[in-house]
Amino acid sequence: MELNGTTAIVSGGASGLGEAAARELAKAGALVVIADLSEERGRTVADDIGGLFARTDVSDEASVAGAVAVASRTGHPLRAAVSCAGIAWAARTVGRDGTPHDLGAYQKVIAVNLIGTFNLMRLSAAAMAATEPADADGQRGVVINTSSVAGIEGQIGQIAYSASKGGIIGMTVPAARDLAAVGVRVNTICPGIIDTPIYGDGPGAEEFKAKLAAPIVFPKRMGRPAEFGQLVRALIENDYMNAEVVRFDGGIRFQPK
């Protein structure tokens, strides 16, 4: 899919992986709509890359419909939707003190990470379906969803997060099959440990990140957000990539903790 002269929408585009993806797609010539809860940071990134900002809660139907409407009215066809909005949560199914996992917290993680991803995918794909095909294959757009290696080998205390990310992996093939009828491809990326604000900052965060990064196979460092942006762009630009779940993790395989 040629990105130059098109519109792309990126949820979570105000920070970390989404920001890096938004910057890369803008470099490729796309007008990028940053759909994020964080208004200040989202506007700054949008201004920086000549894009637009739409304050969005991905778990809310009307909110995402509004953002997709912004992306559909730019005068350039909507061709890419990248879901990066997500939240982390750490709690065991039954805590050490015998307390069961909070149900509201579990529901919130599923609502943002899994339902939010589906919400953006379904509404963007419907908008793409209304555009003219971009090429002789009848292609109209590409959806990139962000899961995690925790969706494959979840660690202790990751039950809610892993369930949400495993759900995104599970949607990949059926979504690609459904959306073939409207010329939309779907791919999912499973990052390992990438250096973004999700881990916080300060000495405690640095120590935590060093511990997480220790089992990375090669290169022996955390991934860089720009490397994620590169992969998003490659998966969009390569027309034969479809229904795929790609690990992006320097070879790490998560241990139980």
Q: Which spans of this chain sit near ligand NAD (rule: CB under 6 A)?
A: 11-12, 14-18, 36-38, 56-59, 84-87, 112-113, 116, 146, 148, 191, 193-194, 196-198
Task: Return all residues near 188 (Cβ < 8 A) that are at least 6 apart.
Answer: 144, 145, 146, 147, 168, 169, 171, 172, 244, 245, 246
Kindly state the tokens that stand for 149: 């290696």
Kindly state the tokens that stand for 66: 């509004």
53 vs 72 by CB, closer to ligand NAD: 53
Sheet holding 184-191: strands in order across?
Answer: 52-55, 31-36, 7-11, 78-83, 141-146, 184-191, 244-248
68 vs 112 by CB, closer to ligand NAD: 112
CA distance 18 to 69: 20
* 106 in catalytic set: no
Name the minimum Å distance from CB 157 to ligand NAD.
Answer: 15
10 vs 30 by CB, closer to ligand NAD: 10
17 vs 128 by CB, closer to ligand NAD: 17
**Given the residues 106, 161, 199, 240, the one annotated as active site:** 161
DSSP 212-240: HHTT--SSSSPBPHHHHHHHHHHHHH-TT
Name the minimum Å distance from CB 150 to ligand NAD.
Answer: 7
Name the minimum Å distance from CB 70 to ligand NAD.
Answer: 14
Name the minimum Å distance from CB 235 to ligand NAD.
Answer: 15
Q: Which residues are paired to 25 by β-bridges?
A: none
CA distance 12 to 19: 7
3-state secondary structure of 185: strand
Catalytic residues: 161
